[in-house]
Structure 1
Amino acid sequence: MAKSAIVLGATGLTGNILLKMLLDDLRYSDIIVFGRNSCNIKHPKLEEYIIDLFELEHYASKFKADEVYCCIGTTKAKTSDKEIYLKIDYGIPVAAAKLCKANGIDTFIVISALGAKKKSKVFYNRVKGKMEAAVLEQQIPNTHILQPSLITGNREEFRFGESFLNFLMTVFKPILHIGDLKRYLPIHPETIAKCMVWLANNTYNLERIKSKKIQELGE
């Protein structure tokens, strides 16, 4: 029997690749997207809701599927206001997880970040860590939290910080292949998307999945 899936963040770098994968996957009959902007894709499987994601809980009656993929995230450069940043990187994923719990959705897969820790002194890592803890509190049976390293790829908007880090990663890439440093290797969004789909369709016990393992599963 074909499955249904919800995608949050379908206009982003990883989310858009994931959406296209799911639309092409014969295991899925319905793909539901919630977002503030249209993904500009026409497909018989696709059902799209243009909403204010800060009010996701108001759409509980529409938030029904077999699986939920959350690719929501922003950056300090793009969202300098910490309160709004918190609402995006913490509020939206946690609201989605709560809806999964309320509506009996057993699979929730969310992208976090390498270094996420709720007691971190770094604001970005602390927000991601608190998000992870709040998501796990919902006790959704098949919860997977992906912690990728720097995500490479062509974004619509220019991000100087990420571009500079990409440059450094390229220069030092040979060194990063040594031992434990492999965890910091940049990762392609297609690899992350493939990993997410694999996790949704296979039995896997780890809740938090580091970048190195994402790379392995995505291949």
Structure 2
Amino acid sequence: MNSKLRRICLVGATGLVGSAIMKHCTGRDDVHVVGVGRRRSETVPPDAEFLAGEPIDWPSLIRESRADVLVCALGTTMKAAGSRPQFRAIDHDLVRYVAEGAVAAGITHMIVVSSVGADRQSRSFYLQVKGETEDALARLPLKRLDVLRPSLLRGRRGQSRPLERLGQLTAPAVGALLFHGPLRRYRSIRASDVAKAIVSLAEQPVEGRFVHEFDAIVQAASRK
């Protein structure tokens, strides 16, 4: 058995970033990913380990994963959630619940996918909730917390979204033209690069709280 094997518990394994993480780690001998979610989907590789259950059971599944690191790639949209309370229930309450379950299981390193512009003082409800979630996680007794704040994520989603697909196709050129200096953090990024960055960060031993925006995510991805 590889003594350097890193075990990652991935909550949100069937989403865009989660699927990319699963794919990126398939066949590797230095990292093992255990997905946790309501049900397995076709985006999860056939040979990947996946623990299915309702959200109320996820803390016990996180413990069962015997992971060193918790990665939370949970997230929805206002349209999919249907209401502000439902959006908060997923992007704040459920993320915090999962994190608390990880702490109870003895996991001391968490990596969470947030959003560029996350700020509890934001006028945007979406960004306000993201900021509140980051603050809630920062208060937990974790030795290391990595917060990734990507802008538009590029990649193929399970659902067909023509307008979003068009935006993904034009985003790289628009970003290169318009987003320079402090605005670079708003550049779009491939979900596969976010996945590579997450796997790279899962191996970092330095303790503390770290926020990664566009340039830092790209740099971390280049290490993997």
Taking structure 1 as the reference length, the TM-score comes to 0.87
Instruction: Give ranges in structure 2 of 5+ residues lacking alignment.
Output: none
Structure 2 counterpart of 1:34 = 36
Alpha-carbon contact 1:176-1:184 (below 8 Å) kept: no
Equivalent runs, 1:137-176 vs 2, <5 Å? 137-159=139-161, 162-163=164-165, 165-166=167-168, 169-170=171-172, 172-176=174-178
Per the TM alignment, residue 17 of structure 1 is displaced from its structure 2 partner at its CA by 1.1
Alpha-carbon contact 2:36-2:61 (below 8 Å) kept: no
For the residues of structure 1 that align with 2:182 and 2:156, how far apart are their CA atoms?
A: 27
Identity of counterpart residues, as a percentage? 25
SS of 2:193's partner is helix
- Over 3 Å counting, the alpha-carbon distance change for 1:147 and 1:38 in structure 2 is same
Per the TM alignment, residue 22 of structure 1 is displaced from its structure 2 partner at its CA by 2.5
For the residues of structure 2 that align with 1:17 and 1:154, how far apart are their CA atoms?
A: 10
1:10-66 deviation line (CA, Å, top 9, x unaligned):
1111101101223322113x43221112134322xx432222225534646535311
Alpha-carbon contact 2:37-2:58 (below 8 Å) kept: no
- Over 3 Å counting, the alpha-carbon distance change for 1:68 and 1:169 in structure 2 is same
SS of 1:83's partner is helix
- Comparing 8-17 and 18-27, the one that deviates more: 18-27
RMSD, aligned α-carbons: 2.2
Equivalent runs, 1:77-116 vs 2, <5 Å? 77-116=79-118
For the residues of structure 1 that align with 2:125 and 2:23, how far apart are their CA atoms?
A: 32
For the residues of structure 1 that align with 2:88 and 2:169, how far apart are their CA atoms?
A: 28
SS of 2:189's partner is coil
For the residues of structure 2 that align with 1:83 and 1:117, how far apart are their CA atoms?
A: 18
For the residues of structure 2 that align with 1:99 and 1:207, how far apart are their CA atoms?
A: 21
For the residues of structure 2 that align with 1:170 and 1:101, how far apart are their CA atoms?
A: 38
**Counterpart code for 1:173:** G
- Over 3 Å counting, the alpha-carbon distance change for 1:179 and 1:66 in structure 2 is same
Alpha-carbon contact 1:10-1:39 (below 8 Å) kept: no
Instruction: Give ranges in structure 1 of 5+ residues lacking alignment.
Output: none
Equivalent runs, 1:1-219 vs 2, <5 Å? 1=3, 2-28=5-31, 30-40=32-42, 41-43=45-47, 46-53=48-55, 55-57=57-59, 59=61, 61-62=63-64, 64-159=66-161, 162-163=164-165, 165-166=167-168, 169-170=171-172, 172-203=174-205, 207-219=210-222
For the residues of structure 2 that align with 1:118 and 1:54, how far apart are their CA atoms?
A: 26
Alpha-carbon contact 1:7-1:69 (below 8 Å) kept: yes
- Comparing 110-119 and 69-78, the one that deviates more: 69-78
**Counterpart code for 2:19:** N
